[in-house]
Amino acid sequence: MARKGLIAALVLGMAAILVLGACSTGKKVSRRDVEEQIDLSGRWNDTDSRLVAEEMIRDSLEWPWIDNFRSENGERPTVIAYGVKNRTSEHINTQTFMKDLERAFVKSGRVRVVAARDQREDIREERAEQQAGFTQDPARIGKELGADFVLTGTINSIEDREGDEQVVFYQTNLELISVETSEKVWIGDKKIKKFIERDAYTY
């Protein structure tokens, strides 16, 4: 009987340990500063996107294309953002830094930004509904602003791995191209290199 009691006690003890272990695996979430650098996987992350945005914003607003356009045309240039081609092996949301760049253009007061192609389709549908259902001035409703420049670009990467060490190199290139002449008036680039060390047991 004593042996059976000991076995029962051990079983209950193991069950308690399993229950406590299960309870301790709960998720913990904490808020962090958005500019804090946190790298978990070594892949492209929010820090890389922020670094690209900061460099592109600074560089694009320093080049002479804005002043040149204003001196030749007497008005601010208008930009439309096309997509950025992701030529890496990762899934990268390029809209994050492109939206930062659009915002900086508008905030500067020196550049006008028009809606992208998919957004303009929605706006045109809304405009058509307003023209059909309201007695507003059609000329005012249909006064769509054309773009002087297209903002587009690419992201490329190069990876090198040996054993537990890996180097990943990213290069982001953005360009502003004149719609009328196809001239490239600004070419921006941002290079990021990461060195990743992994413990052998992670393989």
- Structure confidence at residue 165 (pLDDT): 92
Nearest to 35 by CA among 47, 22, 43: 47
What is 43-202's CATH number, 1.20.58, 3.40.50, 3.30.70, 1.10.10?
A: 3.40.50
| CB 107 within 8 Å of CB 61 | no
- For 28, the token pair is 């913990």
Map residue 185 onto helix, strand or coil. Answer: strand
Distance CA(194)–CA(40), nearest Å, equals 12
pLDDT digits (tens), the chain, 203 positions:
555 565 666 656 666 566 555 555 578 888 877 777 777 788 899 999 999 999 999 999 999 999 999 999 999 999 999 989 999 999 999 999 999 999 999 999 999 999 877 666 666 666 666 666 555 555 454 567 789 999 999 999 999 998 889 999 999 999 999 999 999 999 999 999 999 998 765 54
- Structure confidence at residue 70 (pLDDT): 97
- Structure confidence at residue 157 (pLDDT): 97
> Within 13 Å, how many C-alpha atoms sit on residue 100's CB side?
16
109: left (phi over 0), alpha (psi -120 to 50) or beta: left
pTM over 0.75: no
- Structure confidence at residue 116 (pLDDT): 79
199: left (phi over 0), alpha (psi -120 to 50) or beta: beta
- Structure confidence at residue 33 (pLDDT): 77
The ranges assigned to domains in the chain are 43-202
